[in-house]
């Protein structure tokens, strides 16, 4: 669909990130094979996955198959990813990126690549074929990589590690903030609507309590703030763990279970409960800004009511979360 949009609209090119399921270059070739040939961008492909020769070869293959220009972006990737695929991380990622981009750029330009580097050594050229232009880019997070891109690549591609943000406070005189304006997590887990609507519910309860008893306004809003912030942190703490490609599926599930502090033998239930927001439903539905309490049964423990969320220790990091607490124990 997106490739067709490029054909039908003023969009310039189709961009794909590095996938660990379907290789984006293969997808581009498949699209070309079924007749959808558009300019392509790859940003950014992770260097540990392919030699610079293979990278140049793939990028030019896409240019040949589509008949359009290609922008091929590269980056060293996370340290854990480098270790997992190479045995150890690049001690000098800037140097590795310099060598890699230099080789790829020479090859896709039809030149001889003659590089003897610390990380990559090549004395080769691609077989000559007239092909549309292939530009080489480097993924840029910091100024040094930007400077390197200006030196050895055609483009600097601004990348970011984490889109997440959170406000210092979710309330003030005459206002409360919920949804993305208050707290946002990488949409990897599709948690935004759940968090936003849950926070709206919590805020409404707090505002309702404050309207009934103006003296309690500050307390009610602080309790709303504390619970909302904890729900946000629970998921946020999990994102870096989940994004670590060296982990096994069982580890993802086990960590989710620990964060959720659920009483269940089935770690998959913990994972699904966290991602769907089910595990926090009791906290949200039972939210009592005046701390009066109800007899509602907790979904998370399945047996009895837990201490109010605000009274529990906060999980600041994935490591803290990993320690876990069983509130029913
Ligand atoms: C790529 C992507 C995929 C996502 N996928 C999912 C998913 O699958 N499931 C999920 O649950 N969440 C997902 N999310 C997150 C989800 O979209 C958000 O968390 C959610 O939409 C936030 O709702 P909101 O009301 O806080 O903000 P928004 O939906 O951004 O609404 C804010 C509104 O305010 C308007 N606005 C801004 N400034 C002003 C102004 N000055 N005056 C008037 N109006 C203004 C904006 O135009 C907008 O309409 C995804 C997010 C992204 C970026």
Domains along the chain with CATH numbers: 2-158 (3.20.20.30), 165-323 (no CATH)
294 has pLDDT over 70: no
* Ligand 1 and 180: CB distance under 6 A: yes
Alpha-carbon span 72 to 20, nearest angstrom: 17
88 CB-near residues (< 8 Å, 6+ apart): 82
pTM above 0.85, yes or no: no
Closest residue to atom 26 of ligand 1, CA basis: 179
User: What is the per-residue pLDDT across 124-167, written as a single tens digit (0 to 9) for each?
Assistant: 999 999 999 999 999 998 899 999 999 999 999 987 767 789 99
Among 9, 58, 13, CA closest to 37? 13
Integer-rounded Cα Rg, in Å, for the chain is 25
Mean pLDDT across 10-38: 94
CB 275 within 8 A of CB 194: no
16 CB-near residues (< 8 Å, 6+ apart): 24, 27, 28, 40, 41, 42, 43
> With bands split at pLDDT 50, 70 and 90, how would you rate the model's confidence at 326?
very low
* Ligand 1 and 200: CB distance under 6 A: no
* Ligand 1 and 192: CB distance under 6 A: yes
Among 109, 162, 165, CA closest to 136? 109
CA of 179 to the centre of ligand 1 (A): 8
| Higher-confidence position of 76 and 277 | 76
Mutation test of ligand 1: which of 165, 182, 192 has the most ligand atoms closer than 8 Å to its C-beta? 192
Alpha-carbon span 276 to 292, nearest angstrom: 28
* Ligand 1 and 277: CB distance under 6 A: no
Mutation test of ligand 1: which of 164, 176, 187 has the most ligand atoms closer than 8 Å to its C-beta? 187
């Amino acid at each position: 669909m997106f490739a067709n949009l490029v054909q039908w609209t003023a969009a310039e090119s189709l961009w794909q990130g590095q996938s660990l399921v379907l290789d984006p270059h293969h997808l581009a070739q498949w699209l070309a094979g079924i007749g959808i040939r558009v300019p392509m961008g790859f940003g950014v492909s992770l260097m540990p996955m392919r030699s610079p020769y293979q990278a140049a070869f793939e990028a030019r293959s896409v240019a040949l198959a589509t008949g359009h220009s290609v922008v091929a972006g590269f980056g060293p990737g996370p340290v854990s990813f480098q270790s997992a695929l190479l045995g150890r991380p690049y001690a000098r990622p800037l140097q590795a990126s310099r060598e890699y981009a230099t080789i790829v750029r020479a090859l896709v330009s039809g030149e001889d690549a003659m590089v003897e580097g610390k990380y990559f050594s090549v004395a080769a050229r691609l077989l000559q074929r007239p092909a549309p232009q292939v530009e080489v880019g480097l993924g840029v997070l910091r100024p040094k990589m930007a400077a390197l891109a200006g030196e050895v690549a055609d483009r600097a591609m601004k990348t970011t590690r984490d889109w997440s943000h959170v406000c210092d406070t979710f309330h003030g005189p005459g206002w409360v903030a919920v949804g993305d304006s208050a707290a946002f997590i990488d949409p990897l887990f599709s948690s935004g609507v759940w968090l936003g609507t849950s926070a709206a519910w919590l805020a409404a309860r707090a505002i309702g309590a404050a309207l009934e008893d103006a003296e309690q306004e500050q307390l009610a809003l602080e309790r709303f703030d504390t619970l909302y912030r904890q729900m946000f942190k629970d998921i946020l703490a999990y994102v870096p763990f989940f994004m670590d490609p060296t982990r096994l599926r069982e580890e993802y599930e086990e960590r989710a279970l620990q964060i959720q502090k659920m009483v269940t033998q089935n770690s998959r239930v913990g994972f699904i409960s966290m991602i769907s927001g089910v595990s926090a439903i009791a906290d949200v539905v039972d939210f009592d800004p005046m701390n009066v309490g109800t007899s509602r049964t907790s979904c998370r423990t399945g047996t009895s009511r837990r201490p109010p969320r605000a009274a529990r220790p906060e999980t600041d990091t994935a490591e803290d979360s990993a320690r876990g607490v069983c509130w029913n124990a």
